[in-house]
């Protein structure tokens, strides 16, 4: 039995790790399914008034992807968020950027509005025309997206081209010289109907389809746990069985 002490402890430790990974994936599965339902509901429901400054402190993750409306006018300037469209709503796909423009509401607060997608390699004239903000008063509708912060794997923004790799609205707004006291802690992804006649920026390209492999991952971890148990039992039997057989032969003699 002493030969089994260390293997048993190692097997128990490994089993605990594998089971925890499996249950963690089940938790992620529930979270992902809830997110998908939330996004689908947000896209399909009629737009509500966008949260105003008094409600910003109460924003929660569940507010992400809410369908909202707001009125006001576009300000000068634009920053860009790098992305690649693989399943676009409109005809244009591939690598490119989302155009974020500052929008001042009738209530005097400011929000960055994702006007849509521009493909990589666009000529300078077409690009300049596409990023020029439209004039006049607008009533916009789109999906509310909470700001995100870059992590250690996120590339640094390209300051020269104003290209970001995370939707960090605070940093984007600072680049444009916007008043942080009036800046919303979210951005708005315009609905597809706001794509201009030229076709660019191509609006309505919020990614609302999410890869959901968490059940498969969970089954993989649980399968490895079951394999570990089987291997351990086989090893334990190989240690204990010869002793039982030898004891039986001795008693026969």
Query: Whole-model pTM above 0.95?
Result: no
Q: What is the pLDDT of residues 166-200, one digit of tens each?
A: 989 999 999 999 999 999 999 999 999 999 999 99
Which CB contacts under 8 angstroms, 24+ apart, belong to 228-231? 228/11, 228/14, 228/15, 228/18, 229/11, 229/15
| 93: exposed, middle or buried (Cβ count in 10 Å: 0-12, 13-18, 19+) | middle
For residues 216-227, average pLDDT: 89
Q: How far apart are CA 231 and CA 228, in angstroms?
A: 5
Cis peptide leading into residue 82 (ω within 30°): no
Residue pair 85/106 in contact (Cβ under 8 Å)? The answer is: no
**pLDDT of the residue at 195:** 95
Q: What is the pLDDT of residues 101-151, one digit of tens each?
A: 999 999 999 999 999 999 998 999 999 999 999 999 999 999 999 998 888
Pairing status of strand 183-190 against strand 110-119: parallel
**pLDDT of the residue at 240:** 76
Q: pLDDT category, 210, cuts 50, 70, 90?
A: low
Residue ranges per structural domain of the chain: 2-29+213-252, 66-194
Q: Print the SS3 string covering the chain.
A: CHHHHHHHHHHHHHHHHHHHHHHHHHHHHHHHHHHHHHHHHHHHCCCEECCCHHHHHHCCHHHCCCEEEEEEEECCCCEEEEEEECCCCCCCCEEEEEEEEEEEECCCCEEEEEEEEEECCCCHHHHHHHHCCCCCEEEEEEEEEECCCCCCCCCCCECCCCEECCCCHHHHHHHHCCCHHHEEEEEEEECHHHCCCCCCCECCCCCCCCCCCHHHHHHHHHHHHHHHHHHHHHHHHHHHHHHHHHHHHHHHC
pLDDT reading at 35 higher than 80: no
**For a pLDDT cut of 70, what percent of the chain falls above it?**
92
Q: pLDDT category, 32, cuts 50, 70, 90?
A: confident
**pLDDT of the residue at 181:** 94
pLDDT reading at 242 higher than 70: no
- Beta-carbon contacts of 172 under 8 Å, excluding residues fewer than 6 positions away, are 79, 100, 112, 164
User: Comparing C-alpha atoms, which of 135, 116, 141, 143 is closest to residue 74?
Assistant: 135
């Amino acid at each position: 039995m002493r030969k089994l002490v260390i293997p048993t402890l190692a097997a128990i430790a490994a089993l605990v790790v594998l089971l925890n990974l499996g249950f963690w994936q089940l938790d992620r599965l529930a979270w992902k399914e809830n997110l998908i339902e939330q996004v689908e509901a947000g896209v399909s429901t009629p737009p509500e008034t966008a949260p105003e400054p008094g409600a910003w402190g109460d924003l929660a993750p569940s507010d992400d992807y809410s369908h909202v409306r707001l009125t006001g006018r576009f300000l000068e300037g634009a920053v860009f968020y790098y992305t690649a469209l693989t399943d676009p709503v409109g005809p244009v796909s591939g690598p490119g950027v989302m155009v974020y423009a500052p929008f001042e509401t009738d209530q005097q607060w400011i929000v960055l509005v994702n006007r849509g997608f521009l493909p990589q390699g666009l000529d300078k004239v077409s690009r300049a025309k596409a990023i020029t903000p439209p004039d006049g008063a607008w009533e916009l509708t789109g999906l509310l997206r909470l700001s995100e912060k870059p992590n250690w794997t996120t590339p640094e923004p390209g300051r020269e081209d104003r290209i970001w790799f995370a939707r960090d609205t605070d940093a984007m707004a600072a680049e444009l010289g916007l008043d942080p006291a009036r800046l919303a802690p979210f951005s708005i992804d315009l609905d597809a109907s706001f794509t201009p006649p030229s076709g660019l920026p191509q609006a309505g390209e919020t990614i609302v389809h999410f890869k959901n492999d968490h059940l498969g991952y969970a089954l993989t971890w649980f399968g490895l746990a079951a394999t570990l148990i089987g291997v351990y039992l086989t090893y334990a039997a190989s240690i204990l069985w010869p002793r039982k057989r030898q004891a039986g032969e001795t008693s026969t003699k």
